[in-house]
Amino acid sequence: MREKRGLGSAPLKGRRVLVRVDFNVPQDANGQIADDRRIVEALPTLNHLRAAGARSILMSHLGRPDGHRDPRFSLRPVVHRLSAVLGQPVPLADDIVGIHAIEQSTRLENGQFLMLENLRFHPGEEANDPAFAAQLSRLGELFVEDAFGSVHRAHASTVGVAKRLPSFAGLLVEREIRELSRLRDGIERPYAVIVGGAKVADKLPLLTSFCGRADRILLGGALAFPFLAARGVALGATRVEAGQEANVAELLNAARTAGTEVVLPTDLVVERPGRPDPEVVDLKRVPADALARDIGPATRAKFLGSLDGTRTCFWNGPLGLAEDERFAVGTREVLAGLGRIPGYHVAAGGDSARVAQELGVSGSFAFISTGGGAALEFVEGAELPGLAVLPDA
């Protein structure tokens, strides 16, 4: 991929700079930030803007509030953490393109920051509504894209603004492109891709592009359920993402044609109502009241066997409900085993990064991307709208 025009050529001093960051951080049940990696990874760009005397207006989404103001998705906890890691208070505007945002942004001094409220409180964000993009653009004179985790979305704050203002790639975006490009060009084989997690409808249709490109695709987490269901496995009371039959068939066909192996779970760890202890079950004997929560021991051994000798590996998505210690074993053991296999290993995803950290397996990876879906699309060779819109260097 061609290099993007970076901050080095941006006239920053005294300018109002709109900066798209991805502060969509994992939160616990009380709204506390469970992992601040996405905030910390934005620091090189934010420090650069501060040192250059820019007046930075930060914008991000958090979760999926679907176009409505919802206090559970406020960026308040995020600005709190950001202020601490920057060592400088970052006020949160009460709105996005309203009177508060306009007033506060015009009052900024050189080297100061303002954060707008959650972009997805406004329906115009995800719709890439031209009127909303124009309102956002009026808050700044330049645009810096540093939200690598969101560049697969053609939204107002990623594409709409970039079309309206002189635009530059931030330092995180540059670093992500540089690292992940190693998984696009000249891959050392065998190449294995491990995908799990919960965003099934987003991720499953993307996997076909790995057929031929990767030697094997290992599937776990909720992502594996539609594949098991297609084989006639009854998954008890587990929620299986509906409407994925055609995507499953397409992937399996493409894999067969390309000679890519698809590796699926052969046993599961389930949770049952009224029974706190997890149970290991064979795929043929999943109880009617069971919820599938993790891959089982036979699957762990099968995954590790198929990773043996791998030279390159890309992982996105926990293999089970890894936030719960009872269901973290599959993810922990497979990733720890991966760490014992020499090669270039990359992890990607907001939740995946947090889980790798919590399970003590971050060291298994040469690089941990802040992108989830964005990294997945990048490494499979797709054109990402939020990058395509940025001028080349």
* Of the candidate residues 21, 22, 191, 354, the single one contacting ligand 3PG (CB under 6 A): 22
**Is 140 labeled as catalytic in the residue annotation?**
no
- Cβ atoms < 10 Å from Cβ of 335: 27
Q: Which of 335, 350, 364, 379 binds ligand 3PG (CB under 6 A)?
A: 350
User: Contact with ligand 3PG (CB under 6 A): which of 150, 244, 316, 364?
Assistant: 150
149 binds ligand 3PG (CB under 6 A): yes
Q: Does 124 bind Mg ion (CB under 5 A)?
A: no
For ligand 3PG, how many residues bind (rule: CB under 6 A)? 9
Is 350 among the residues that bind Mg ion (CB under 5 A)? yes
DSSP labels, 26-86: -B-TTS-BS--HHHHTTHHHHHHHHHTT-EEEEE---S--TTS--GGG-SHHHHHHHHHHH
The reply to whether 98 belongs to the active site is: no
From residue 56 to residue 85, what is the string marking binding to ligand 3PG with x (rule CB under 6 A)? --------x---------------------
Phi and psi of 108, rounded to 5°?
A: -65, 145
Interface ranges with ligand ADP (CB under 6 A): 196-199, 221-222, 292-293, 316-318, 320-323, 349-352, 372
CA nearest neighbour of 22 among 128, 123, 161, 118: 118
Residues 6+ apart with CB under 8 A from 139: 16, 18, 57, 97, 101, 102, 105, 116
**What phi and psi, each to the nearest 5 degrees, are found at residue 124?**
-70, -20
Q: Which residue is nearest to ligand ADP (CB)?
A: 349
Residue from 10, 21, 24, 159 binding ligand 3PG (CB under 6 A) = 24
Nearest to 308 by CA among 219, 192, 214: 192
Is residue 195 within 8 Å of residue 262, measured between CB atoms? no
Pairing of strands 16-20, 142-145: parallel
* Residue 8 DSSP SS3: helix
Q: Which stretch binds ligand 3PG (CB under 6 A): 147-155, 160-168, 252-260, 276-284?
A: 147-155
What is the nearest approach in angstroms of ligand ADP to the Cβ of residue 363? 18
Assess whether 221 carries a catalytic annotation: no
Q: Which parts of this chain interact with Mg ion (CB under 5 A)?
A: 350-351
Which residues are annotated as catalytic?
38, 199, 350, 373
